[in-house]
């Protein structure tokens, strides 16, 4: 299948208490879970490399702060068009927009269901921290392979 893809998903630190439900009730409906691990204490260099695309933007240091020293769940999912399909299931980057889109469409979004009901991009900016939007998912084949190489390099050694 030439649309067969792999993607990297991270359950972010603030959402780890919901990791089991996010994975089992949401993400495994979209893609096949191939490899996973909990990183107990995220090293600075891993999150710095992961978000290198945002290096130089004002919120880049906030992303390091959000992850460094904290606990995350990282996983590779595979499936047809899985990169787009998993991002569609997460929903918009801003949790307030995810909640709004869920209300308008009746669709289910991880970033609507599992975020703090008061969270928004606007609030995060006001409080000078990265948006707590539950999970990360790769946005292209290139970034997926880059990110899998950072968090789960053994995927490529099988």
Under rule CB under 6 A, residue 125 binds ligand GDP: yes
User: Please, are residues 61 and 81 in contact by the beta-carbon 8 Å criterion?
Assistant: no
Under rule CB under 6 A, residue 131 binds ligand GDP: yes
- Pick one of 9, 63, 110, 152: the residue that binds ligand GDP (CB under 6 A): 63
Q: Which is nearer to ligand GDP, 126 or 158 (CB)?
A: 126
User: Please, are residues 6 and 78 in contact by the beta-carbon 8 Å criterion?
Assistant: yes
| Element counts in the chain: helices (H) and strands (E) | 8, 4
Where does residue 22 fall: left (phi above 0), alpha (psi -120 to 50 degrees), or beta otherwise? alpha
Q: Which is nearer to ligand GDP, 146 or 157 (CB)?
A: 146
State the nearest-atom distance from the C-beta of 86 to ligand GDP, in Å.
Answer: 11
Single out the catalytic residue among 18, 50, 73, 136: 136
Unique residue bearing structure tokens 């053994």: 154
Q: Is 146 an active-site residue?
A: no
Unique residue bearing structure tokens 């099988």: 158
Q: Which is nearer to ligand GDP, 58 or 106 (CB)?
A: 58
CA dihedral for 52, 55, 58, 61, sign (positive or negative):
positive
Report, as residue numbers or ranges, the catalytic residues. 136
The residues of the shown chain that bind ligand GDP, judged by CB under 6 A, are 59, 62-63, 93, 124-125, 130-131, 133, 136, 139
């Amino acid at each position: 299948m030439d649309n067969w893809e792999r993607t990297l998903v991270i359950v972010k630190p603030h959402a780890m208490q919901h990791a089991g439900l996010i994975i089992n009730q949401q993400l495994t409906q979209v893609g096949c879970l191939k490899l996973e691990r909990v990183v107990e204490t995220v090293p600075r260099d891993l999150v710095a490399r992961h978000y290198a695309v945002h290096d130089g933007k004002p919120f880049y240091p906030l992303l390091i702060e959000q992850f460094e020293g904290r606990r995350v769940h990282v996983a590779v999912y595979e499936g047809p068009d899985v990169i787009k399909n998993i991002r569609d299931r997460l929903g918009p980057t801003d949790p307030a927009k995810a909640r709004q889109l869920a209300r308008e469409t009746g669709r289910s979004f991880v970033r609507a269901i599992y975020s703090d009901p008061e969270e928004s991009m606007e609030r995060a900016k006001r409080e000078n921290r990265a948006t707590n939007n539950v999970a990360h998912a790769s946005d292209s084949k290139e970034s997926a392979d880059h990110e899998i190489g950072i968090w789960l390099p053994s995927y490529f050694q099988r």
